[in-house]
Amino acid sequence: MRVFVTGATGFVGSAIVQELISAGHQVLGLARSEASAAQLKAAGAEVHQGALTDLDSLKRGAEAADAVIHTAFIHDFSKFAENCETDRGVIEAMGDALKGTTKPFIVTSGTGLLSLGRPVLETDVANAQTTKTPRKASEEAAAAVAARGVNASVVRLPPSVHDANDHGFVPLLINLAREKGMAAYVEEGSNRWPAVHRLDAARLYRLILEKNAPPATYHAVAEEGIPFREITAIIGKRLGIPVEGKSGQEAADYFGWFLHFASLDTPSSSEWTRNLTGWQPMHQSLLQDVDSAAYFPEEDYK
């Protein structure tokens, strides 16, 4: 199978590229720079020059492949709502290119869209009625192209997709703790983050393609929900600094724009996903990963 992958040199996308190539598939990876192109060639993938802002290039990539995996997203939180709408346009453009075919189209979203007071299920829908975050645009777009006959599915990733070289939420928390001289959580820190190892997530994308899984929403969730204070406790231990709960203005001052994410309570189930695809996570847990050299260089060990 020849698979067009956006975000092919990103943290998750690069793992998907390796997973697909190792399983004997061909990969056509989106590259917007010479450095990205070189990385893709070194990985054994073909290069498709383009960008998320060049919809024609995305359509050509989709048309040239047997399947599409979309993991790219512009991670500029100062323009978050705008970038979410950009993603809507990207999904709709590639959906138009796939209309009239049975080519699988896998869109990436997040379990953090929904906070329901119970584990989020694959059947729970993220839309204007269930969530206020603009990130729902991706799932709305996937549903819109599916309604036009496109074989579109969604893979929801948890707030922490972990592994060495992570540059997401956990490293941000570590850097905040270094800066503030304290590792903090919100209120009692009982809010829960689901998690998955990057390589386990990559394998799920491959399984959905290979098993010709039905168009649906899938959860790449290895751990249903880890109390936030447990993540913070490891950060405090590794840095040798106090660990404290913050509330109200103190929490806002400590976390800044990240307060929303630090407060997320989105336990999520993947039982349906596992039963349908046979996916079983095999790699170490989030807490094991954080409490290792993957997240702390030797000089930070206490």
pLDDT for res 129:
78
Task: Kindly indicate the confidence band of residue 299, based on its pLDDT and cuts at 50, 70 and 90.
Answer: low
State percent of the chain over pLDDT 90: 92
Average pLDDT over residues 192-197: 98
- May I ask the CATH class of domain 2-158+196-223? alpha beta
For 153-193, the pLDDT digits (tens) are: 999 999 999 999 999 999 999 999 999 999 999 999 999 99
The strand pair at 223-227 and 192-197 is best described as antiparallel
DSSP assignment of 12-67, as one string? HHHHHHHHHHHTT-EEEEEESSHHHHHHHHHHT-EEEE--TT-HHHHHHHHHTSSE
CATH 3.90.25: which residues of the chain?
A: 161-194+225-266+284-300
CATH 3.40.50.720: which residues of the chain?
A: 2-158+196-223
Q: Which long-range contacts (CB under 8 A, 24 or more apart) does 26-30 make?
A: 26/1, 26/2, 27/2, 27/3, 28/2, 28/3, 28/4, 28/61, 28/64, 28/65, 29/4, 29/5, 30/4, 30/5, 30/6, 30/57, 30/58, 30/61, 30/72
Helix (H, G, I), strand (E, B) or coil at 219: strand
For 224-248, the pLDDT digits (tens) are: 999 999 999 999 999 999 999 999 9
Amino acid identity of 10?
G
Question: What are the distances in angstroms from CA 52 to CA 38, 68, 79, 91, 219?
Answer: 19, 14, 15, 10, 24
For 2-36, the pLDDT digits (tens) are: 999 999 999 999 999 999 999 999 999 999 999 99
Architecture of the domain whose range is 161-194+225-266+284-300: Alpha-Beta Complex (3.90)
